[in-house]
Structure 1
Amino acid sequence: MSDFVLAIDQGTTGTKLHRLHTDGRFQTLDGFEHRQILPAPGWVEHDPEELIGHLNGCIGNVGNAKAIGIANQGETVVAWDAKTKRAIHNAIVWQDARTNDAIAALKQAGHEETTLARAGLPLDPYFSASKLRWLLDHVDTARQLHKQGRLRLGTSDAFFLDRLTGTFATDVSTASRTSLMNLETLAWDPMLCELFGVPMECLPDIRSTADDFGAVGKVPVTANVVDQQAALFGHGCRHAGDAKITFGTGAFALCVVGAKPLRDVGSGLLPTIAWRLRDAAPAYALDGGVYNAASAVNWARGLGLFGDYAEIDSFAAASAISRDIAFVPALSGLGCPYWDRSAAGMWLGLGLDTSKSDMMQALLEGVALRAGEVIAAMSRLLPIGNRISIDGGLAKNSYFGTFAADVLKRNIIIPASTELTGLGTAQLALIGAGLATVDTLPPPPAPKAQLNPQGRIADEHRMKFHTAVGRSRNWR
């Protein structure tokens, strides 16, 4: 029997447990869904104790594992008591927009140049820093604990690690999503911490992605990583120009850049850390996020536009955009390359003859067309390969996959497993545990499918969608 490691993927809607053997066998063992808490319009929270309960449920299956890797939500934040290790407020999720006004004030004061220069990130409520400041400003217990030297602030992974292993740490990929880490020094930046009003002494230690993060019992935690970077690794993207798109709650495109960050403020793309393996130099990536993908589909299902997912797997009609029907998936605003939270989701081109099926076809196309805008922006900065690997729930939809191939003008690779975040996390845990190197990782199974572009999406369709996006902006 070969050795194995476990990977815990703690995502936006649930937590999954996976097992990877050194001979390459990969299995999903368990999963838990958690509540989405929506206290006010634009606010999204999770119960940290519920999340910890699910992680503990996964850890109950450790068995003879050699190591554990943990993937996290990225920009989601928690505040907790260093002594009791109990959270003092619900986690504020990456989707949350409660700090819009604070971000607008920082922009008006001319501070975005500083965040772009030092963190590589624009000013947006998406990132962690303004959420952490909100906790200090609005949670009395946070201020009291800070006075007592007991306040801990961080992304959700730091809370998990502190609670499970007693190690107060995060990794460079996660820290690079906070707007508080300097992208060059890989350390908390005093100027950024002062700008956002986040006390540096309350923040966790920053470590490599494959590193020592303590142990659960006798099993070491040897990898900690943002879920999207984990998926990038799991897709097998290792060289400059290798790209993947995860169509989960949102759509997140990442492309490997190399050993130095690639900055271009005008592109709207985010330079970020892909991973760092022990003491090796970090690998950088370009990131472009679309806030709503599967979340838009599930929202439409809740409205009664369809019942079974099989209903939207194929459509008899020509593409909706070719029939002048468009949907802009800006239900939470527009991410890359616009960074516009004032934008709103909308259908355009509806008539008395428009059906539910037409609306859903346009919705799926809108998600793909938004991803196409991100990849087009990336292509202007570096050569993107002619193959893009995709995963996430929407990767299972036949119509979506074929339409995306036409939009992206590239071959779409559908991996054999859709659990690429779990696979990448497990691979990083193998490396962190010294059981493999990048070159000796077990090879992934052959892809499930390759979808080739058929040239059915013309430039005029892209321009029509771009016009629709423009109409969605400044709506709120």
Structure 2
Amino acid sequence: MSLNGTRETAFVGAIDQGTTSSRFLIFNSEGSVVATHQIEFSQIYPHPGWHEHDPEELITSVETCIDGAIEQFEKQGHSRNQVKTVGITNQRETTVVWDTTTGKALHNAIVWTDTRAQELVRKLKDRLGSKELMSLCGLPLSTYPSASKLLWLLENVDAVKDAYGRGVLAFGTVDTWLAFKLNGGLSRNVYVTDPSNASRTMFMNLESLTYDHHLLDWFRVDTSKIKLAEIVPSSHPTAYGKLFSTVLKGVSITGCLGDQSAALVGQKAFSPGLAKNTYGTGCFLLYNVGPKPVISTHGLLTTVAFDFGEGRRMYALEGSIAVAGSSVKFLVDNFGFMESSAKLSALAETVEDNGGCTFVTAFSGLFAPYWMDDARGTIFGITAYTQRGHIARATLEATCFQTKAILLAMEKDSGQALTELAVDGGMCNADLIMQTQSDIIGIPVNRPAMRETTALGAAIAAGLAVGVWDNLSDLDAVNTEGRTIFKPQITAKEADARFGTWEKAVQMCKGWAN
């Protein structure tokens, strides 16, 4: 039963706090976007390999987006009172620390792409017991998870050291920071996270969904000196509190998912064997493995897909690509290839192929399944024949090749080959990229017409908690119209040859940062 007995009048808001922008989207119960507002915010790069965000700017951008979307919503003749609840989806691993007595951030947020902890991670890998961590938390030691970012802050930032020493240090991923601040900070002191985000810290036990004392002891994190967020289900009617300000003041926050889990939910991959790939700033492929975690032996991560309560908790294997859409932005901003990222695909279409070029876009190392912190971006095969279009095409292909490597690893870990790949994210708007992806992986690629699946996942988590949808089967008809299927147009032999060239290039760029 939906609220007020009519599904048509129930709307759900979704905060989508990403790496380069914040957005607020309003969905109806059919899963269609009826209003949206987006703001880009500052990217801070203090040193090569460092990437930060201003924590306060994250909050103000979200609040501005809520007000902007509601203004648009009301111009359509709707009332803000029709927005029944709000969900959160957020960039994961990005780490915020603040003072529990003042509620103020003690440092810029360290973004998930940041590699400053590289040397610290090398030392951790030599520590006794390092190889056993992954069986507990599902993540390998790298600069990617939040743990290494927190340890770097404790070692290098005096204000953080001081707060830790006085026992007033709070640590959280972006969802925790958002929930804390959007609830009014210290006035309500909401301090929570969900398992899809907590599983990105290296502190949570995958089986119990609680903080693991062995993991915390191994990282030498003293829980008497630091506040860790309470881990609550991804969909919950009260745990995430209520908006303290904005025009939606008083509306409950009832759902929370890390962005890649949210996209999996938004693609309705609720059953084992279903997978999605999101082509955003980075690229993230999640494969639902069911109600028990599967620990990878082929370079993938194990993560919590979503926790909607008993019997509705799923795990996923994940392959993470650090650089996807950001490689397109790089060609536009740094090399001036085109005036906008949207036109880069058109430039790539001016040539028939990559002209012999392979671009390993390892700007901050390579993530799954390679895990090479010391690799760096490298273009191979440049000759006097090379044109901008060849470089553009090689850039787009890099994400497709890495997706292929992840799918091969998933097949080995799960014992099953994927038969179709659901896709979303900004890069999937380009037909050329999606056709190239299908060619390289040799299976159909399924692109929905409504591609805001990450925000839709947050809306679904929130809506399930308050009865906008009663159960998962209520979502069967959501976002099914107008899908495009891309099918392979080259032979398996040709696809294997192209992938072989990519793998050769990956091995050749290894060790560059040493």
TM bin, normalised by shorter chain, reads over 0.9
Q: State how far apart, in whole Å, the 2-side matches of 1:413 and 1:97 are.
A: 33
* Cα contact 2:180–2:191 (8 A) shared by 1: yes
Corresponding residue for 1:373? 405
Q: State how far apart, in whole Å, the 2-side matches of 1:156 and 1:443 are.
A: 28
Distance apart, 1:307 and its partner CA: 3.2
Corresponding residue for 2:131? 113
Corresponding residue for 1:458? 495
Matched, 1:99 2:117: yes
SS of 1:257's equivalent?
Answer: strand
Alignment RMSD (CA, Å): 1.7
TM-score, length of structure 2 as denominator length: 0.89
Corresponding residue for 1:391? 424
Corresponding residue for 1:139? 157
1:220 to 1:279, Cα distance in 2 relative to 1, 3 A: farther
Q: State how far apart, in whole Å, the 1-side matches of 2:132 and 2:111 are.
A: 24
Q: State how far apart, in whole Å, the 2-side matches of 1:173 and 1:23 are.
A: 25
Q: Between the two proteins, what is the percent identity of the paired residues?
A: 34
SS of 1:268's equivalent?
Answer: coil
Q: State how far apart, in whole Å, the 2-side matches of 1:301 and 1:59 are.
A: 30
* Cα contact 2:194–2:231 (8 A) shared by 1: yes
Matched, 1:342 2:377: no
Q: State how far apart, in whole Å, the 2-side matches of 1:311 and 1:132 are.
A: 37
Corresponding residue for 2:337? 305
1:164 to 1:310, Cα distance in 2 relative to 1, 3 A: closer
Q: State how far apart, in whole Å, the 2-side matches of 1:316 and 1:300 are.
A: 16
Q: State how far apart, in whole Å, the 2-side matches of 1:224 and 1:102 are.
A: 31
* Cα contact 1:16–1:28 (8 A) shared by 2: no
Distance apart, 1:380 and its partner CA: 2.1
Matched, 1:274 2:305: yes
Corresponding residue for 1:260? 292
* Cα contact 1:119–1:181 (8 A) shared by 2: yes
Q: State how far apart, in whole Å, the 1-side matches of 2:251 and 2:344 are.
A: 45
2:447 corresponds to which letter in structure 1? Answer: I
CA deviations on 1:306-332 (whole Å, 9 max, x unpaired) are: 334335335254332xx5321111111
User: Which deviates more from structure 2 when the two are superposed, residues 273-282 or residues 306-315?
Assistant: 306-315
Q: How does 1:21-60 map to 2 (within 5 A)?
A: 21-60=28-67
TM-score, length of structure 1 as denominator length: 0.95
Corresponding residue for 1:434? 467
* Cα contact 1:306–1:356 (8 A) shared by 2: no
Number of equivalences: 473
Corresponding residue for 2:389? 357
* Cα contact 2:296–2:317 (8 A) shared by 1: no
Q: 1:175 aligns with which of 198, 206, 210?
A: 198
2:314 corresponds to which letter in structure 1? Answer: A
Q: State how far apart, in whole Å, the 2-side matches of 1:58 and 1:167 are.
A: 22
Runs of 4+ with >4 A deviation? none
SS of 2:204's equivalent?
Answer: coil
Q: State how far apart, in whole Å, the 2-side matches of 1:311 and 1:135 are.
A: 38
User: Which deviates more from structure 2 when the two are superposed, residues 456-465 or residues 308-317?
Assistant: 308-317
1:470 to 1:110, Cα distance in 2 relative to 1, 3 A: farther
Q: State how far apart, in whole Å, the 2-side matches of 1:128 and 1:56 are.
A: 25
Q: State how far apart, in whole Å, the 2-side matches of 1:458 and 1:384 are.
A: 16
1:412 to 1:346, Cα distance in 2 relative to 1, 3 A: same
Corresponding residue for 1:416? 449
Q: State how far apart, in whole Å, the 1-side matches of 2:31 and 2:48 are.
A: 45
Unaligned runs of 5+ in 2: 1-7, 71-79, 184-188, 244-248
SS of 1:202's equivalent?
Answer: strand
Q: State how far apart, in whole Å, the 2-side matches of 1:280 and 1:215 are.
A: 27
2:46 corresponds to which letter in structure 1? Answer: P
Unaligned runs of 5+ in 1: none
Q: State how far apart, in whole Å, the 1-side matches of 2:168 and 2:181 are.
A: 14
Q: State how far apart, in whole Å, the 2-side matches of 1:281 and 1:111 are.
A: 33
SS of 2:497's equivalent?
Answer: helix
CA deviations on 1:33-64 (whole Å, 9 max, x unpaired) are: 01110011111000000001012223435622
SS of 2:177's equivalent?
Answer: helix
* Cα contact 1:81–1:145 (8 A) shared by 2: yes
Corresponding residue for 1:230? 262
Q: How does 1:177-192 map to 2 (within 5 A)?
A: 177-192=200-215
Q: State how far apart, in whole Å, the 2-side matches of 1:106 and 1:310 are.
A: 43
Q: State how far apart, in whole Å, the 1-side matches of 2:454 and 2:101 are.
A: 32
SS of 1:219's equivalent?
Answer: coil
Corresponding residue for 2:364? 332
